Amino acid sequence: MRHVFWVVAAVFLAAVLAFLMLPVAAIFLNVPPTEAYTSTVATDALWVTVKTSAIANLAFLVVGTPAAYVLATTRIPGRALLVTLCELPLVMPPAVAGIGLLAAFGRVGLLGEQIEALGLTIAFSEAAVVLAVAFVAGPLYLRGAVAAFAAVDRDCTEAARTLGAGPARVFARVAVPMAAGGLGTAWATAFARGVGEFGATIIFAGSLQGITQTLPLAVYSQLDADFDQALAIGALLILFAAAILITVRLIPACHRYFTRTSASRAATSTSP
Amino acid sequence: MPPLLHAHLRVPRRDFDVAVELDAGPQTVAIVGPSGSGKTTLLRAVAGLERPVDGEITVQGETWFRARPRTWTPPERRSVGLVFQQFALFPHMTVRQNVAFARGDDPDALLERLGVLHLADARPAAISGGERQRVALARALARRPRVLLLDEPMAALDPFTRQGVRRELAAVLRILALPTLLVTHDRDDLALADRVVTLEAGRVTQDGTLEQLASRPATPFVATLTAHAASPLGSSA
């Protein structure tokens, strides 16, 4: 009876793997990712994706890291509500996120007049892609960063205060390095989510080649025009996602490995 | 002559308020009490990590906290050396960097004084408990504190190491002659103290030398604490 269970479980596992891997294999069997470089649609989309992702990631790293530290370490009233509000975009359907951004920053949106008064147009521009990516991926980083800071030994940050360090120095010299592993993982996950962003971007930024068309949007645009190109861009995105996934798995392991290695090296050199 | 440290404070806790009045000169005062009696709260309040709702904390005439009119000195501007129970060394820094973080005295001189200079380039994870304790003490002394706060500094050590470290700590405390508050659960640590203050449910129940406490225990806790006082303290270590 026990053998039967394991056989059935193994069959189910094989079925799961086959189901998950079949579309991936189908893409790579049809066309290699290098094919993507032969079309300007793909190279333009790659450049837009890299540029907008870099800006959006930089923005939520710079703004989100101190914000996450505040949420993780201070006893501000309504903290749970603030965390929930920050996480809301994570459960929001991407299309709703896109229309929300349009209603906020579009020409006839909530801040439309003020933005226009500054001589700026955000909707359907590269800036819109950046905002869309930051809106859907930023909260993912924020959530991971809050967890990473909450895990930092409070005694260490308090010890730093008693050693003469003000809040900014404690944050930069103690909290961030001690939370580095968790922050790295949170960033890699958010980065991958941002690169794959589709729904909010197409509604808020459109799909203009070389301006707002990112890799996922290029796959969609090429579906009718050149299916092989769509497959090649898809393959490129899969490679990218796999690299991120491996990074996410490697960051904590590397952190542990280097800490242990330097510790044992020091122990060897200091042992009497 | 006014005391070097005067702490008169009230800190609300879930079950009771920690309300303590304590003066200390250039001496080591052991703060002893059952778990949750407010010992660590007292230390944290002096360090500025806990905000009392009432009272006053002055060190060498300088007010660090006063309820009315409101005076508050943040922890980084107080001159305290705090050694945590688990030492709280920064794991991503070397021993030297840990001490240098205080931006005080020469880290190497301090490490040498405490006999751990040979570990200067090691990370805290690579050194023993006793060595970590010495590094934590070196770091706490780096800014030449006006008050030394030791929160169960021997609790994380094994009994054998504890014995040696206790002897070294006694020598350091003698030389420093600072107002030192030593929170402890370990009766043997009382050998380090000039005075013992017992704290129960947030209140000081007795204050005096161990002999005074032993001769007239005010509460059953003090009686139990001093029950073995027939043998000289520390001899069982």
B128 and B167 share a domain? no
**Are residues A155 and B86, on separate chains, in Cβ contact within 8 Å?**
yes
Q: What local confidence, expressed as pLDDT, does residue A159 receive?
A: 96
3-state secondary structure at position B59: strand
Three state DSSP letters for chain A: CHHHHHHHHHHHHHHHHHHHHHHHHHHHHHCCHHHHHHCHHHHHHHHHHHHHHHHHHHHHHHHHHHHHHHHHHCCCCCHHHHHHHHHHHHHCCHHHHHHHHHHHHCCCCCCHHHHHHCCCCCCCCHHHHHHHHHHHHHHHHHHHHHHHHHCCCHHHHHHHHHCCCCHHHHHHHHHHHHHHHHHHHHHHHHHHHHHCCCHHHHHHCCCCCCCCCCHHHHHHHHHHHCHHHHHHHHHHHHHHHHHHHHHHHHHHHHHHHHHHHHHHHHHHHHCC
**pLDDT, position B225:** 87
Q: Please answer yes or no on whether A161 and B74 come within 8 Å at the CB atom.
A: yes
| Per-residue model confidence (pLDDT) at position B157 | 84
- Same-domain status, B166 and B72: yes
Tokens 């009432």, residue located: B54
Residue B77 pLDDT class (50, 70, 90 cuts): very high
Q: What is the mean pLDDT of residues B65-77?
A: 94
Domain co-membership, B118 together with B171: no
What is the rounded CA–CA span in Å between residue B14 and residue A32? 65
- Supply the pLDDT for residue A254: 73
Q: Which contiguous run of DSSP H or E holds residue B210?
A: helix B210-215
- Residue scoring higher pLDDT (A10 or B185): A10
On whether both B122 and B202 belong to a single domain, the answer is: no
Tell if the CB–CB gap between A161 and B91 is shorter than 8 Å: no
Residues of chain A whose beta carbon is less than 8 angstroms from a beta carbon of chain B are 153, 155-156, 158-166, 173-174, 177-178, 180, 259-260, 262-267, 269-270
Residues 176-235 of B with CB under 8 A from A: none
- Among residues B100, B121, B144, the one where a domain terminates is B144
pLDDT of B25 above 80? yes
User: Domain A39-254: what homologous superfamily?
Assistant: MetI-like (1.10.3720.10)
- Say if the Cβ atoms of B90 and A161 lie within 8 Å: no
Task: Collect the ranges in chain A with pLDDT lower than 70.
Answer: 1, 36, 252, 255-272
Distance from CA of B38 to the nearest CA of A (A): 17
- Whole-angstrom distance, CA of residue B98 vs CA of residue B88: 10
Residue A206 — left, alpha, or beta (φ > 0 → left; ψ -120 to 50 → alpha)?
left
Say yes or no: B128 and B158 in one domain: no
Question: What residue of B is the nearest CA neighbor of A156?
Answer: B88
Contact A173 B101 (CB under 8 A): yes
Looking at the partner chain, which of A159, A162, A270 has a beta carbon nearest the beta carbon of B119? A270
Q: Which residues of B touch A153 (CB under 8 A)?
A: 86, 88
Q: Which domain holds residue B167?
A: 1-79+150-237
Q: Residue B200 — very low, low, confident or very high, per pLDDT cuts 50/70/90?
A: very high
From A155, A162, A173, residue closest to B75, measured CB to CB: A162
Is residue B13's pLDDT more than 80?
Answer: yes
Q: Which residue ranges make up each domain of chain A?
A: 39-254
Best probe of the A interface among B73, B92, B119, by most A CBs < 10 A, is B92
Name every chain B residue with its beta carbon within 8 A of the beta carbon of A155: 84-86, 88
- pLDDT at residue B62 tops 50: yes
| Structure-model confidence comparison of residues B186 and A1, the more confident one | B186
Q: What is the share, in percent, of chain B residues with pLDDT greater than 90?
A: 69
- Using CB atoms, which residue from B76, B127, B140 is nearest to A270? B127
Task: Judge if B104 and B181 occupy the same domain.
Answer: no
Domain shared by B206 and B119, yes or no: no
Partners of B88 on chain A (C-beta within 8 Å) are 153, 155-156, 158-159
| B172 and B75 housed in the same domain | yes
For B47, which residue in chain A has the nearest alpha carbon? Answer: A162
Q: Is B59 left (phi over 0), alpha (psi -120 to 50) or beta?
A: beta
**For the domain that residue B167 is a member of, what is the CATH number?**
3.40.50.300
Using a CB-CB cut-off of 8 Å, the residues of chain B touching A75 are none
Whether A178 and B90 lie within 8 Å, measured CB to CB: yes
Q: What pLDDT shows up at residue A271?
A: 40
Contact B198, B166 (CB under 8 A): no
Those residues with Cβ within 8 angstroms of residue B72's Cβ, 6 or more apart along the chain or in another chain: B48, B51, B64, B65
Cβ within 8 Å, pair B126-A155: no
Name the residue of chain B whose CA is nearest to A154's CA: B88
For residue B49, give the nearest of A161, A163, A267 by CB distance: A161
Which pLDDT value is given to residue B237? Answer: 31
- Is 60 exceeded by the pLDDT of residue B84? yes
Cα distances (Å, whole numbers) of residue B125 to A19, A258, B137, B167: 45, 12, 17, 24
Number of structural domains (chain B) is 2
- Does residue B159 sit in the same domain as residue B235? yes
Contacts by A86-90, CB closer than 8 A, 24 or more apart:
A86/A139, A86/A142, A86/A143, A87/A139, A87/A142, A87/A143, A88/A139, A89/A135, A89/A136, A89/A138, A89/A139, A90/A139, A90/A140, A90/A143
The whole-number pLDDT of residue A199 equals 95
Q: How far is CA A93 from CA A87, A88, A100, A206, in A?
A: 13, 10, 11, 17
